[in-house]
Chain A
Amino acid sequence: MSDVVVTVRGATRTYNEETVPVHALRGVDMDVHRGDFVSLAGPSGSGKSTLLNLIGGLDRANEGDVVVDQVSLSELNENQLSDLRLEKIGFVFQAYNLLPVLTAEENVGFIMQLQGMSRSERSARARETLASVGLADLADRRPGDMSGGQQQRVAIARAIATRPVLLLADEPSANLDSGTTEELLELLKELNEEHGMTIVTATHDPMVMGYTSRKINLRDGAIVEES
């Protein structure tokens, strides 16, 4: 079993090819290994989200390839990409992570429901996962009745409840104050260190970079530095 979870080779992504081309990514190479905690940093517009979306199978490279858990994404059609996301990848976005009409538990159970898990099993797993992110008491609350930090925790719980091979987080702390951001980062770090969860996160925030084991700096769609 390979130790490499993500391989990106020569990934190029250009928007508006016909009119004024925007080169969001210009030939990026990178690997993510099992157990990595990677931050993608760089100024706004440097291509962080674009790269994260390619890795997550939400978008396609114009050139080059992305391989996730030994599956070459360029060979998958839309439905297969959708299946791959459902099965292997956990997503946490900056906002709109949760369905406002569902409780925390139901939100966490949502992907498991799509995967066909029985009601009792997913309820148990959702509660257990909520407890592991410190929200045992809020299982029956709806997102509207939770703080921003709590909502992001629920989103993380949903993303990890199905045990994905990879957790992708695009600016997960952008809407949070620094105290709450720190708590969230502690949680991600714990997931990474104690449960071996592979995490890639895009961020502006120097505080985030301080927590990750690898930092990749992007500028104008290319990797300029890695540490």
Chain B
Amino acid sequence: MTDSSLTDTTLATESVAPNVKRATPELWGVAWRNIMRTSRRTWLTASGIAFAILLMSLMRSLQVGAFMGAVDNSARIMLGHIQLQHPGYEDDPTIENSIHGIDEIIADVESRPGVEVVSARAQSFALTSSGERSFGAQVIGVQHDKEVVWSSLTRMDVEGRYLQGPGEAFIGSALARNLGISVGDEMVILGTAIEGGVAALVAEVVGTYTSGQPELDRAIVQVSLQDFQSAWNLASDEAHIINVIAESVADSEQLAPQLGRAHVRSMNWRELQPEMVQMMELKLVGTYVLFILVAIIVIFSVVNSFMMIIFERTPEFGMLMAIGMRPHHIIIQLQIEALLVSLLGVFIGLVIAAVGIGILSETGIALPAQAEELTKSMAFPDRMYPVFSLSALYIAIPVMLLGTQFAALIPGLRLRHMHAVEALRAAE
């Protein structure tokens, strides 16, 4: 360090760094071309991602389809898709918590698009007896001419026939057996009418049904609404429940929030069938577990694929760093490539899922014979119509996109400390 010329030049370097204007490199176009250059690998990676998305949407759509079928079936037994009730009736189902003006309400609801049938019920707990035997049961006064249109209970393994007018009773077969009566016999019903009076009714059993669900077969008596109203001292426009049958479960979801009014609460199917909602959520958890397993496998394959990419392109990265590109820009470039591949995969998965589910939702899928038990006990229909469900994808899509970013970053971070010379030498 004795040479004076060095001292001179060193002194002249007060403002050391060159004053460079830098722009963010244009990475998107290059990224797209890069993933298209290794198109075989890109398609393989993308199809892994597509598979995960497809699996998730298919499984979920089948589940939602099956559950929606079950919800619909179950709604059409007795519950209806929507119920209108006195706001206090759910928590305190007393005879006083009734709704008035049912004829106007029914007329209004029936006029709405998407509504199939609307009918009213008045109901109370009562003692039913015949001779020496007595059993408690839910006595329901129904608009039988409408009830028969939608309620499948009226057709379940019926002995005799359904209600046709006053003075008649339609009861569960287990209750009939318990009471020791059959079609043609009389039964006595005793309850507490409004304001504490006694409600008494004698009716002839015209039919019995067997649903296979013990709680329905053991404890329900249907009589005509007029009989109920007069025995329990209700007004002729008074009832406890208005059952709304929509054209589909989906229609009912639209309708439910519009049907509430002063002193009347509208309950949707989720409130009416909470156990079904629980089962769906439980199933969703199972589906996610499977999805996460698939996602992990797919993400590992993405890590692998990006290790290959980085390995193959290390000399190129060395050259880029040598000519002045910053390592973090190369990492960003790879992240963009990962994003494009994952978007491609998600897009393909969604398109295939939408087309496939679209076709299946028209034709339906026959359930296998093993499912027969489920079909019976849980009111599952024998043919299932998948319903395209976005809900599962709200998580599946971000998981795949972020998982791919993460997968690319793991090998990509190595570039942070890579030097241009080493990288260029990597080719040798």
Contact = CB atoms under 8 A, between A and B. Distances in A.
Interface stretch (B4-12, B149-157, B218-226): B4-12
Given A82-B324, A84-B18, A96 B427 contact: yes
B174 interface: no
A21 B54 CA distance: 57
Interface string B110-137: 0000000000000000000000000000
A86 B324 contact: yes
B318 A101 contact: no
A19 to B, nearest CB: 17
Contact of A95 (B16, B30, B325, B427): B427
Contact of A101 (B6, B19, B30): B30
Interface stretch (A64-72, A190-198, A200-208, A210-218): A64-72
A43 interface: no
A2 B9 contact: yes
Residue among B9, B22, B326 with max Cβ neighbours from chain A (10 Å): B9
Nearest to A9: B6
B322 interface: yes
Contacts of B421: 53, 58-59
B146 interface: no
A76 B17 contact: yes
A113 B26 contact: yes
Given A87-B18, A115-B20, A70 B324 contact: no
A88 interface: yes
A102 interface: yes
Nearest to A71: B13
Given A111-B324, A113-B25, A86 B20 contact: yes
Interface in A1-50: 2, 4, 7, 9-10, 29, 31
Contacts of B325: 82, 114
B414 interface: no
Interface string B409-428: 00000000001110010010
Residue among A67, A101, A117 with max Cβ neighbours from chain B (10 Å): A101
B30 A99 contact: yes
A79 B318 CA distance: 15
A97 interface: yes
A114 B9 contact: no
Contacts of A158: 323
A111 B26 CA distance: 11
Given A56-B322, A67-B13, A110-B323, A10 B315 contact: no
Contacts of A115: 20-23
Contact of A65 (B10, B33, B34, B320): B10
Interface residues of A, number: 45
Given A9-B6, A10-B1, A114-B22, A70 B13 contact: yes
A117 B17 CA distance: 20
A143 to B, nearest CB: 11
Contacts of A56: 322
Contact of B16 (A4, A58, A71, A114): A71
A65 B322 contact: no
B3 interface: yes
A72 B1 contact: no
A121 interface: no
Contacts of B321: 82
Contacts of B201: none
A223 B106 CA distance: 104
B13 to A, nearest CB: 5
Contacts of A87: 18-20, 324
B424 A93 contact: yes
A125 interface: no
A62 to B, nearest CB: 14
A83 B316 contact: no
Contacts of A95: 315, 427
Contacts of A113: 23, 25-26
B40 interface: no
Interface string A101-122: 1100000001101111100000
B18 A93 contact: no
Interface in B1-57: 1, 3, 5-6, 9-10, 12-13, 16-23, 25-26, 30, 33-34, 36-37
Residue among B1, B17, B25, B34 with max Cβ neighbours from chain A (10 Å): B17
Contact of A72 (B5, B9, B23): B9
B3 A91 contact: no
Contacts of B427: 95-96
A11 to B, nearest CB: 11
Contact of A91 (B1, B6, B316, B322): B322
Interface in A156-170: 158
A111 B20 CA distance: 12
A113 B325 CA distance: 11
Contact of B315 (A59, A82, A96): A96
B317 to A, nearest CB: 9
A67 B25 CA distance: 28
B323 A101 contact: no
Nearest to B314: A96
8 contacts: A58-B322, A71-B18, A72-B16, A76-B17, A96-B424, A99-B316, A102-B30, A114-B325
Given A67-B9, A87-B18, A102-B30, 19 more contacts: A2-B9, A29-B3, A31-B5, A65-B6, A70-B9, A71-B16, A71-B18, A82-B326, A83-B17, A83-B18, A85-B322, A87-B19, A91-B322, A95-B315, A100-B37, A114-B22, A114-B25, A115-B23, A158-B323
Interface of A: 2, 4, 7, 9-10, 29, 31, 53, 56, 58-59, 64-65, 67, 70-72, 75-76, 79-80, 82-88, 91, 93, 95-97, 99-102, 110-111, 113-117, 158
Q: Closest 8 CB pairs between A and B?
A: A86-B324, A116-B23, A101-B33, A80-B17, A96-B315, A83-B20, A87-B18, A87-B20
